[in-house]
Amino acid sequence: MGFSAIRRADRRAAGRGIARDHPRYKWVVLTNTTVGMSMATINGSIVLISLPAIFRGINLNPLDPANVSYLLWMLTGFLLVSGMLVVTFGRLGDIMGRVRIYNLGFLVFAFASVALSLVPWQGGAGALWLIGWRAVEAVGAAMLLANATAILTDSFPVRQRGMALGVNQIAVISGSFLGLIIGGVVSQWHWRAVFWVTVPVGVLGAIWAYTSLHEIGERHKGRIDIPGNISFALGLGLILAGVTYGVQPYGGNPMGWTNPWVLSALIGGLALLAAFVAIESRVLDPMFDLTLFRIRAFTFGNLAGLMAAVSRGGMQLVLIIWLQGIWLPAHGYSFDSAPLWASVFLLPLTVGFLVAGPVSGWLSDRFGGRPFAVAGAVISVLAFIGLTLVPVDFPYPEFALLIFFNGVGAGMFSSPNATVIMNSVPAARRGVASGMRMTNYTAGSALSIGVFFSLLVIGLAGRLPASLSAGLSGQGVPSTLANQLGSAPPVGTLFSAFLGINPLGTLLEPSGVLHQLPSVNVDALLGIDLFPSLLSRPFQDGLTLVFIIGACMMTIAATASWLTGHRSSTSSATSGERLGEEPRDYHLIEGDPTADGPATTASDAGPPSGDPAANRQQGL
C-alpha cells in the first residue's frame, strides 16, 4: 500500500478504530482474537487445578460418593456446552457476521464470570450454581472460539496466515497451560479469585472488539439448520454424559460402563450423531458442511487435531494427579499448597509450547505446515514413551526435560495444523470450518477426562486393593477393616489424589479405630507420607497405560498430518494470494488419491448455479 493510500486509511480510521484496509488493521485483529481465545481456554484449565480450593470454599466433601458427579460436571460441563455450540455459532457467524457473534461472546463470558464469582450458597446448591453458570460461560466461549479463527483468516493474506494462525493457536492451547499456573497462584489467595481473573479481560475485550473490529468476511446467506443443531447437541451431549458417569462406580464394579443408563446414553448418542450425518447430507443449509470432508487437508487435519486434543487433555489431567496427589506430598509439600506447586513444576511444559509454537507458525509460512505438524507429533510420541520409563518418584530434572519436549511437540504441531485446515476451505465456509475445528478441540478435551480417568482406574484396580490393605494393616488397623477399605472402588482414591487430599482419616473416622491406635500410627495415617506411598506402585501401572495410549494417539496424529498432502501444506508459503483471494489448495480426496496430482479448486467449479445443493457439492 502506497503512502497516499495509508493517509486515506488513517482519515477513515477516525470513525471507528483503524479502517479495515489500513495495513495495521490485521494486527489489531490478531491481538484482540488472541486475547479472546486465551481467555476462553484459560478458563477451562484454571478450574481444573483449582478444584481443591473450590471444594473447600463451598464446603463440599469430595470423598462423598454423591459429590463425585459434581466434580466431573465442573470439569466437563464447560467443555460439553462449548463443544455442542461452537459449530452453531460458526454457522451463525457465516450468516449474520462473524464480528457480531464474536463481540457478543465477550459480553456473555464476562457476565457469566461475574455470576460465578458471586456464588451465594454452600454444598450441593453452590456446586449446581457453579456448574450452571459455567455452562453459560461456555456459550460465550463458543461464540469466541467459533469465529476468532475465521475473522483472523479473513484479515490476513495467505502468505502471512500461518504466522497469524500460529500465534492464535498458541493462544488457544497455551491458555490451557497458563490456566494451570494462574489457577495454582490465585486459588491460594481466594477461591473466588479463580473466577475474578476473567471479568476485567472480558469487559475490556468486549469494548475493544466493538470499537475496533469490522466485518470484512464473506457472508453466506441461509437458514439455521434446526434439526441438525438439535440432533448434534443431543448426540454429543449424551455421549459425553455417558462417559462422565461411566467412570463412576456402579454396583460391585469399579466403573459404570455396565450401567444400563450409561450404555443407553452412549448408544443413543451414537444413533443421534448418525441421524445428524443423514440430516446434514440432505438439508440445503447444513450446520456441518459435510462436503468439506472431501478436502483431504481438512479431513486429515481435523483427525490429527482430535487425536492431539484428547492426548493433550489427558496428559494435563494425569500430570496434575501425579504431582498433587503423590509426588509433592512425598517430597514434603502439604496437600493445601499442592495446586500452587504443581503449577510451578509444570512450567517446562508451558515454556516448551511457547518456544516452539511461534517459530513453527512462522516457518510454516515459508516451508509449508505438513513437515512441522508431523515432526511435532513425532516429538510428542517420543516424549510420551519417555514418560512411561520414569518412576512415580521421579528425579525432577528428568521429568522436566520430558514434559518440556512434550510442550515443544505440541507447539510444533498446533500452529501448522490450524494453518493447513483453514487454508484448505473456501472463504464463505471459514466460519463453519473454524467451528468444526474447534469442536474437535473442545469435544476431544472433554472426552479425554473420561478416557484417561478410566485408563487410570483400570491401572489402579489390579494392585491398589492389596497395597491399601497391607499399608493400613501395617499401621495397626484391624485386617477386616483394612481389607474392606482396600476393596473400595479406586475412583474415590483417584479423586482424592486429584484434589490433593489424604482420604485415610475420613475413611477410618466412622469406625472409631483412630481413637484406639497409638499416636505414632495415627500420625502416620493422617500425615502426608503414607497415602502417597501406598498409591505409588499401583499408580505406576495406570501411568504406563495412559502414556502408551497417548503415544498411540499422537502416532495417528502424525500419520494423518502426513496424509494432508504436500500441496495443501505448502500453498500458504507459495501462493501469491492477496487479501480476499482464495488459496488454490482445495485438494479433494475423491477422484485424486495422490498428493501430487492436479488439485481441484473452488474456481475450477465455475460460477454458482441456481441449485443450492449443487453449489454445496462444488464447495460454493
Interacting residues of 31 by C-beta distance below 8 A, sequence separation 6+: none
0.75 surpassed by pTM: no
Q: For the chain, which ranges sit under pLDDT 70?
A: 1-23, 44, 62-66, 158, 161-163, 165-166, 169, 172-173, 177, 217-222, 431, 500, 566-620
Are 249 and 488 within 8 A, CB to CB? no
CA–CA dist 370, 364 (Å, integer): 8
Q: Is the dihedral of CA 595, 310, 160, 361 positive or negative?
A: negative
Cα dist. 95→92, 194, 284, 473 in Å? 5, 35, 14, 67
Q: What is the per-residue pLDDT for 264?
A: 93
Residue pLDDT, tens place only, 70-99: 877 887 788 778 877 877 787 788 778 888
pLDDT at 375: 93
d(CA 94, CA 427): 10
Q: How far is CA 234 from its chain centroid?
A: 20
Nearest residue to 515 (alpha-carbon basis) of 526, 531, 527: 526
Q: Contact at 8 Å (CB) between 500 and 326?
A: no
Task: Annotate 530-544 with DSSP letters as a single string.
Answer: HHHHHHHHHHHHHHH
Identify whether the C-beta of residue 214 lies closer than 8 Å to the C-beta of residue 48.
no
Give pLDDT, residue 548: 92
Residue 326 carries which DSSP code?
I
pLDDT of residue 339: 76
What type of residue is 14? A
- Per-residue pLDDT reduced to its tens digit, 239-261: 878 877 887 777 777 777 888 98
Whether the Cβ atoms of residue 438 and residue 86 lie closer than 8 Å to each other: yes
Residue-level pLDDT at 406: 92
| pLDDT for the residue numbered 25 | 83
| Residue 19: predicted pLDDT | 59
Instruction: Please give the Cα distance from 420 to 412 (Å, whole number).
Output: 13
Q: How many CB atoms lie under 10 A from the CB of residue 65? A: 14
Q: How far apart are CA 135 and CA 138, in angstroms?
A: 5
